[in-house]
Amino acid sequence: MNKQLLDKYFKGHCSEQEVAEVEAYLSLPETPAMDEWMMETWEAANGEEATPKPKIHRLWYRVAAAILGAIGLLSFLWQAKQQVQQQIAVKWDTLTNHSNKVQLFTMPDGSEVWLNAHAAVSYNYNYNQTNRELWLSGEGYFKVVKDDQRPFRVHTGQLVTTVLGTEFNIATANKADGSIQVSLIQGKVSVSMRDTFTKVLLPGQMLQYKNGEMPVLQQFSNEEVLDWKQGKIYFDRTTLADALTKLQQRYGCSIILDDASLADKKISGEFRTDLSIDKILSTLEYVHNLKSVRVNEYTYRVSTKHN
């Protein structure tokens, strides 16, 4: 979030997508960018220097005094923020998979969403009324009911995947470089980033997008992309960096690779998802001459084993 977008929002110049982005931000418990924007707006209205800046909690007392005078701008904005937060709490819903097992959710239009471990989707109150828009974090598989009037859209970072009726998989946290993968199983989808590109995928194609770079289209293996739906973790000449990143996502933990020279080491193998992360790391240790150390309940470190 930035002050330019907030200024645009309160002036009523935002697009529908930008409005959704700002309102989702304003619903958060802490909104430092909003507080800073409000402070600068107040100072500009009063002709004050930007520095030194008073503490936020003292600013509200000054606003109360100003209301008794001529300017009530900041108070108005603060109240508007509270109203927006209250409205958003009602308008938005989030489906979260807090477990290590796959969970299936059925949307109001009958579309099915499978969420991998620790994944989540958010949607607003207009879903299946004026739109069918979801925001995904983590990994999800979508089986979409066809509706020519209301395209189904999944937002992941800056990407928007648009479909009418199809089945596809999106992963946002499986790669060490932070890239997003959209894999089409059947039907047709378009994946776009505003003012940058639009790519149409055919069955068997995967779009991989890394922030700031043009997307890459490639073929993919159903066995590897959809392993999680089969209760498996599958690696096929996967780099160690990506393998550890996938394990992080599946088990909700942090795995630190201490030796950067190991990042491109190729890993192959198949594990059941009911195995513990300790058991999987122990197997990788044995097969690939690695050493893993459990730092605390949620953190592991992996390095080269020195004989």
- What pLDDT does residue 61 have? 38
Both 106 and 216 in one domain: the answer is yes
Both 172 and 144 in one domain: the answer is yes
Q: How confident is the model at residue 174 (pLDDT cuts 50, 70, 90)?
A: very high
Lowest mean pLDDT across 30-34, 51-55, 116-120, 127-131:
51-55
pLDDT of 251 over the 80 cut = yes
Both 248 and 131 in one domain: the answer is no
User: How confident is the model over 265-288, as pLDDT tens digits?
Assistant: 999 999 999 999 999 999 999 888
pLDDT of 177 over the 70 cut = yes
Both 212 and 240 in one domain: the answer is no
Both 147 and 258 in one domain: the answer is no
> Among residues 90, 125, 140, which one ends one of the domains?
90
Chain centroid to Cα 68, Å, comes to 44
Q: Which domain holds residue 280?
A: 231-304
Rounded average pLDDT over 189-201:
91
User: How confident is the model over 45-96, as pLDDT tens digits?
Assistant: 555 444 444 444 434 434 444 444 444 555 555 555 555 555 444 467 889 9
**How deeply is 198 buried, as exposed, middle or buried, from its count of CB atoms within 10 A (0-12, 13-18, 19+)?**
exposed
> Among residues 223, 239, 272, which one ends one of the domains?
223
* Bridge partners, 112 (sequence order): 106, 143
Would you report the helix, strand and coil content of the chain in percent, each value rounded to 5?
Answer: 35, 35, 35
pLDDT of 220 over the 90 cut = yes
Q: How confident is the model at residue 294 (pLDDT cuts 50, 70, 90)?
A: very high
Q: Say if CB 189 and CB 161 are below 8 A apart.
A: yes
User: How confident is the model over 88-125, as pLDDT tens digits?
Assistant: 444 678 899 988 889 999 999 999 999 999 899 989 88
> Among residues 57, 90, 123, which one ends one of the domains?
90
